[in-house]
């Protein structure tokens, strides 16, 4: 077992020990590392002022994703590249093309939100680099600005996403990939603070053993719920078991009649295949929170948290999805509908974890629709989310399934 956290920043490997597992990436940057470019606006994943970019090795390529540093725990960046707004300027001090585009478009006033916007646009520039308005709106939906107004920011983003062809990030990509592959290994990270501990198993058998030894542990996936327990409810989580390093749980597989989505698959990773099953399902995923949250949050976490207003359960229940729960006793498969026993109570036994969800493919005679109503179109939880699926025989409805999640009156 390894107790040091290792990550790449600015072309170098960094190592940290004795890290408090409840410490967020943002607090580390601002209070311990004197990198104060990333700001804290809300500390709950809503405003995007804290946006940083994580690079991960996928095959030989480094892929970049924007995340909210305020709700990511520091040990979660183990094995990844961390890029903050401080890292964008070139070695000779020139602004990155994304920063320059913000200056050129007069896209900033007080500047508080600006580093977050820059990092969201930077991530898009490193990846798909889409400049159509719909895509730019998606890229920026998780960043709020109180003073500039969005017109100039959108203009800067549209100009900038295709401009990053010569920055030092492009020049350094091979080195970064080499450094990340140096960090890649199958040794479990086990780090502890004063009175809490963090495990990052790399296989499901390690996870099963850990859950047997630590039945009180909190399973941590994307932290888009759990992060807020620490930053908003001020809880201290004693034992965290992070599933984000387990490759088996990050698989998506086509099993013929159904698609199996591992519990560690993020919304962003699942979007393409779910969109191919149903454009309604794709749109539902696209409307969950923001790009930053979708890059971290998982469907497994959305199910396991048992939230009465989780967006994916109604659609998946209407599609008759099956949930696979795993423990040292083996795999138990149940209808997703049966997982939710009552408000706040799920059918998850001690030592068990959500391993995957099986989503049946939609048949030719089947009609499926899902709807979300929220106060804001983007970056808002549902007031009501509903889905139906019906199977036709000729002009007759042979079977019908309907599921709905509604904001509870007592909350
Ligand atoms: C700003 C913001 C906007 C949001 N918008 C939406 C929205 O529009 N729609 C929506 O539905 N949700 C929304 N959420 C809630 C959240 O993003 C989702 O519920 C997300 O799917 C949680 O997944 P996660 O991987 O981050 O889970 P985590 O926070 O890591 O965990 C959540 C819970 O699930 C448990 N858990 C996680 N994985 C497993 C597993 N494999 N086995 C057993 N237990 C497990 C954890 O122990 C914890 O109890 C939003 C959250 C934020 C902060
Ligand atoms: S501080 Fe608002 S999203 Fe992180
Ligand atoms: S420039 Fe002031 S909040 Fe955006």
d(CA 340, CA 294): 23
Better-scored residue on pLDDT, 194 or 55: 55
- The residue count of the chain comes to 411
Nearest ligand 3 atom to alpha carbon 148: 1
**Closest ligand to residue 114's CA:** 3
| Best residue for ligand 2 mutational test, from 41, 66, 228, 231 (most atoms within 8 Å of Cβ) | 41
pLDDT tens for 233-269 read: 999 999 999 999 999 999 999 999 999 999 999 999 9
| Best residue for ligand 1 mutational test, from 219, 274, 325 (most atoms within 8 Å of Cβ) | 219
DSSP-derived letter for residue 179 is H
For 170, the enclosing helix (H) or strand (E) is helix 168-171
Mean pLDDT, the chain, whole residue set: 95
Q: Dig out the tokens for 42 from the structure.
A: 């809300």
Mean pLDDT of 314-333: 97
Q: Dig out the tokens for 271 from the structure.
A: 């979007």
What are the φ and ψ backbone dihedral angles of 401, each rounded to 5 degrees? -130, 135
Q: Percentage of residues in the chain with pLDDT exceeding 70?
A: 99
Mean pLDDT of 127-140: 94
pLDDT tens for 265-277 read: 999 999 999 999 9
Cα dihedral 116, 122, 127, 133 sign: positive
Better-scored residue on pLDDT, 30 or 306: 30
CB 49 less than 6 A from any atom of ligand 2: yes
Mean pLDDT of 99-105: 96
Nearest CA to ligand 2 atom 3: 45
Query: Is the pLDDT reported for residue 169 higher than 90?
Result: no
- Cα(57) to centroid(ligand 3), Å: 33
d(CA 70, CA 48): 9
Nearest ligand 3 atom to alpha carbon 108: 1
Burial 313-331 (b: 16+ CB within 10 A, else e): bbbbbbbbbbbbbbbeeee
CB 175 less than 6 A from any atom of ligand 3: no
Mean pLDDT of 287-310: 95
CB–CB of 296/67 below 8 Å?
A: yes
pLDDT tens for 46-96 read: 999 999 999 999 988 999 999 999 999 999 999 999 999 999 998 888 999
- Cα(109) to centroid(ligand 2), Å: 19
- Cα(111) to centroid(ligand 3), Å: 5
pLDDT tens for 4-53 read: 999 999 999 999 998 999 999 999 999 999 999 999 999 999 999 999 99
- Please tell me whether residue 12 adopts helix, strand or coil conformation: strand
The domains of the chain, with CATH numbers, are: 5-87+172-242 (3.10.20.30), 97-166 (1.10.150.120), 252-410 (3.30.465.10)
Query: Is the pLDDT reported for residue 164 higher than 80?
Result: no
CB 108 less than 6 A from any atom of ligand 3: yes
Q: Percentage of residues in the chain with pLDDT exceeding 90?
A: 86
Identify the pLDDT of residue 410: 61
What are the φ and ψ backbone dihedral angles of 293, each rounded to 5 degrees? -70, -40
Identify the pLDDT of residue 79: 97
CB 179 less than 6 A from any atom of ligand 2: no
Query: Is the pLDDT reported for residue 411 higher than 80?
Result: no
Better-scored residue on pLDDT, 353 or 173: 353
Identify the pLDDT of residue 344: 84
Query: Is the pLDDT reported for residue 407 higher than 80?
Result: no
CB 392 less than 6 A from any atom of ligand 2: no
Q: Dig out the tokens for 106 from the structure.
A: 């007069």
Nearest CA to ligand 3 atom 4: 145
- Cα(181) to centroid(ligand 2), Å: 30
Q: Dig out the tokens for 266 from the structure.
A: 């993020």
Query: Is the pLDDT reported for residue 409 higher than 70?
Result: no
CB 27 less than 6 A from any atom of ligand 3: no
CB 106 less than 6 A from any atom of ligand 3: no
pLDDT tens for 334-393 read: 999 999 998 889 999 999 999 999 999 999 999 999 999 998 888 888 889 999 999 999
| Best residue for ligand 2 mutational test, from 37, 38, 49, 144 (most atoms within 8 Å of Cβ) | 49
């Amino acid at each position: 077992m390894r107790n040091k956290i290792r990550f790449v920043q600015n072309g170098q490997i960094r190592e940290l020990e004795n890290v408090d597992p409840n410490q967020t990436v943002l607090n580390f940057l601002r209070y311990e590392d004197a990198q104060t470019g990333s700001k804290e606006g809300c500390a709950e994943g809503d405003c995007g002022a804290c946006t940083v970019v994580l690079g991960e090795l996928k095959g030989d390529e480094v892929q970049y994703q924007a995340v909210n540093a305020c709700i990511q725990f520091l040990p979660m960046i183990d094995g990844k590249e961390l890029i903050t707004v401080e890292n964008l300027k070139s070695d000779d001090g020139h602004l990155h093309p994304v920063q320059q585009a913000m200056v050129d478009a007069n896209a900033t006033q007080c500047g508080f939100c600006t580093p977050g916007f820059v990092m969201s646009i930077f991530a898009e520039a490193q990846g798909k680099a889409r400049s159509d308005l719909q895509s730019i709106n998606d890229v920026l939906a998780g960043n709020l600005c109180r003073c500039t107004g969005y017109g100039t920011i959108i203009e800067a983003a549209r100009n900038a996403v295709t401009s990053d062809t010569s920055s030092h990030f492009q020049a350094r990509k091979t080195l970064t990939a080499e450094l990340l592959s140096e960090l890649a290994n199958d040794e479990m990270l086990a780090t502890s603070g004063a009175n809490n501990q963090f495990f990052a198993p790399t296989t499901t058998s390690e996870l099963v053993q850990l859950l047997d030894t630590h039945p009180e542990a909190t399973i941590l996936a994307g932290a888009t719920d759990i992060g807020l327990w620490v930053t908003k409810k001020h809880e201290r989580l004693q034992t965290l078991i992070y599933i984000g390093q387990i490759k088996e749980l990050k698989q998506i597989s086509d099993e013929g009649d159904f698609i199996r989505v591992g519990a560690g698959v993020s919304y962003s990773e699942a979007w393409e295949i779910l969109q191919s099953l149903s454009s309604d399902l794709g749109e539902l995923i696209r409307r969950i929170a923001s790009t930053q949250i979708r890059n971290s949050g998982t469907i497994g976490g959305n199910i396991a948290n048992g939230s009465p207003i989780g967006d994916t359960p109604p659609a998946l229940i209407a599609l008759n999805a099956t949930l696979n729960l795993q423990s040292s006793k083996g795999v138990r498969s149940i209808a997703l509908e049966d997982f939710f026993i009552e408000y706040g109570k799920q059918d998850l036994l001690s030592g068990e974890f959500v391993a995957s969800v099986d989503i049946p493919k939609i048949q030719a005679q089947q009609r499926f629709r899902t709807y979300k109503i929220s106060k804001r179109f983007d970056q808002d939880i549902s007031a009501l989310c509903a889905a139906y699926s019906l199977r036709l025989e000729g002009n007759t409805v042979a079977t019908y399934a309907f599921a709905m999640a509604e904001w509870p009156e007592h909350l």
